[in-house]
Amino acid sequence: MKDFLPVVVVFFAVVSVLELIFYAFRVIHGAKKERVRSRIKSLSKSIKWKDPVGIRRSRILSHLPMLNRLLLRVPLAKRLDLMVQQANAARPVGLFLLLSPLLALLTLYFTHLMTKNMLFSAGFGGVGGAIPWVYLLRKRKKRVEKFIAQLADGAQLIARAMRAGHAFSTGLQMAAAEFDDPLGTEFEYVVDQINFGVPTAEALKNLARRIDCDEAKFFAVSVILQRETGGNLAEILDTLASLIRERHKLKGKIRTLSAEGRLSAIGLVCMPMLVTIALYFFNREYILFLLEDPVGKIMSMAALTMMAIGVIFIRRMINFEI
């Protein structure tokens, strides 16, 4: 095991370095592609495409050609790539797929050097491997929350633009220019799709799929139903903006009232780990019983299981569906 781990760590380190080199190369040459994209965007306003439904933007899952071809065939990689899109991460999903096992193996290797306990090291290795995905999940959550906070004002801006005589797509373009990321970026992406010939309903469905929150689905469904059945879209958007604001206020109140429960869950998870690490460095003989003795291992697994159950129960108590 000691001879095998360094080889695996070096392998993933080399592959990750190659991925970073390819990414740096693309960043250096990205300015030229941005000029081409701006030129195509300007031409799209004056050209009517004959095959609007066939226009699709391909996704690069890795800057390594061989790994990219492999990931394009794996359904799980596409679902993970959707998470990367929702988080608006600058790196492709291939980098995270390489970084995760690299961190897991590094954490496993160094923890095993210190503790000489494979079970304990494997647990820390799993935590290290989960760091990139926790980062993406947190970034996606913050981005969705910011989108919800911006959506009410964005919907009202589109409603005012339509009352002034502009089309819905023009209102979207005005909102994209007025707001920063994520609302401005997502609305600009919707406008680009519409300009390239994608149906408005399909572009809005893609928006709801990328953002993956109830408010984005409300917005997409409201516009799609109005275009199919008729009605005053400006009034619908004003009503939707009021609904989104009230939901946002209610979520803020719930978050404030449930702060104590969240802190309890954090303390429940962090305190035993911090105490264990402190005891390992200050009184190693005392804590080695839990790491080496069979009874201590059973007690450790039982404690971790009860901690996980406690976190699940606290999470279910403080999470409310609105």
**pTM, to two decimals:** 0.71
Which of 225, 233, 180 shows the shortest CA–CA distance to 204? 225
Flag whether pLDDT at 39 surpasses 90: no
Q: Domain segments of the chain: what residues?
A: 4-32+59-142, 143-257, 259-318
Whether residue 182 is preceded by a cis peptide bond, meaning omega within 30 degrees of 0, is yes
Q: How confident is the model at residue 111 (pLDDT cuts 50, 70, 90)?
A: confident
State the pLDDT at residue 41: 53
Sequence length of the chain is: 322
State the pLDDT at residue 51: 42
Burial of 240 (0-12, 13-18, 19+ CB in 10 A): buried
Residue 131 · residue 101 · CB < 8 Å = no
| Residue entry with tokens 């797509």 | 169
Burial of 16 (0-12, 13-18, 19+ CB in 10 A): middle
- Give the integer Cα–Cα distance in Å for 195 and 173: 11
CA 22 to chain centre: 23
State the pLDDT at residue 26: 60
State the pLDDT at residue 20: 61
Region of poorest pLDDT, from 9-13, 46-50, 168-172: 46-50
State the pLDDT at residue 270: 83
CATH number for the domain whose boundaries are 143-257: 1.20.81
Q: What is the pLDDT of residues 245-302, one digit of tens each?
A: 998 888 888 888 877 777 877 887 788 888 887 887 788 777 777 777 788 778 888 8
Flag whether pLDDT at 23 surpasses 70: no
243 contact partners, CB below 8 Å, separation of at least 6: 218
Higher pLDDT, 117 or 133: 133
Flag whether pLDDT at 194 surpasses 70: yes
Q: How confident is the model at residue 79 (pLDDT cuts 50, 70, 90)?
A: confident
Q: What is the pLDDT of residues 154-165, one digit of tens each?
A: 999 999 999 999
- Give the integer Cα–Cα distance in Å for 158 and 172: 6
State the pLDDT at residue 62: 78
Q: How confident is the model at residue 54 (pLDDT cuts 50, 70, 90)?
A: very low
